[in-house]
Amino acid sequence: MTLNQMDHAVLIQHGRPEQGTYDHSYLYECDKRFPGKFNIIVMVDSGKKDSVRKLEEHREKGAVGVRLTTTTRSLGPDRFAIWRKAAEIDMVVSCMGTVEGFSSDQFAELVSEFPKMPIIIEHLAGGGEESAFPRNGKASAAPYSKF
């Protein structure tokens, strides 16, 4: 980092949230060894009943965000529980998905539910230079123009 004149970096847990590695000890170890250098983004298994509690535990340990996908939903009656908890405890969401997923009505509904929560679109939504949101063309249009 010093060689490249980088003061800070974000460490994101590797893998897809629904089938990833949920052991974040290495990320926390790096943060402890180099105080003030890193922000940590974790993953939790939204397919488990304790995912909201796990997210709270990571926040208490210092994580600033959670890695989810455009289709991540929680078990139980509140399908947005994991998203809701992230918003409640001021975490950012680093979101994996495709151009189609990010431009879907389901994702627009989710974003509408949490208008103030920062959602980072990872890897340019998997698109390349020739990709454009199917519904939006080259400029923002409904529903994204309102966000």
Q: For 100-111, how does the pLDDT look when each residue is reduced to its tens digit (9 = 90+)?
A: 898 899 999 999
Q: Give the pLDDT confidence of 61-102 residue by residue, as tens digits.
A: 999 999 999 999 999 999 999 999 999 999 999 999 988 898
Does 78 fall in a domain? yes
Residue 13 falls within a domain, yes or no?
A: yes
Q: How many domains does the chain have?
A: 1
Tokens 């208490």 correspond to 60
Burial readout 100-136 (b: 16 or more C-beta within 10 A, e: otherwise): ebbbbeebbebbeebeebebebbeebeeeeeeebeee
| 47 within domain boundaries | yes
Q: Residue 15 sits in a domain of what CATH number?
A: 3.20.20.140
Residue 65 lies in a domain: yes
Residue 101 lies in a domain: yes
Domain that holds residue 38: 9-131
Answer yes or no: is 2 within a domain.
no
Stated pTM of the model = 0.84
Is position 57 within any domain? yes
pLDDT band at residue 58, thresholds of 50, 70 and 90?
very high
Residue 4 lies in a domain: no
